[in-house]
Amino acid sequence: MIVKSLNLYNFRNYSHFVIDFSQDINILIGNNGQGKTNLIEAIYLLSVGKSFRSHVNKQMIMFDNEFARVEGKVISNSKQRNLEIILGSNFKNAKIDNQDIH
Answering whether pTM is above 0.85, one says yes
pLDDT at 102 over 80: no
In tens, the pLDDT along 71-92 reads 999 999 999 999 999 999 999 9
Topology of domain 2-101, per CATH? Answer: Rossmann fold (3.40.50)
Q: 15: burial class by Cβ within 10 Å (0-12, 13-18, 19+)? A: exposed
DSSP states of the chain: -EEEEEEEEEETTEEEEEEE--SS-------TTSSHHHHHHHHHHHHHSS-SS-S-GGGGBPTT-SEEEEEEEEEETTEEEEEEEEEETTEEEEEETTEEE-
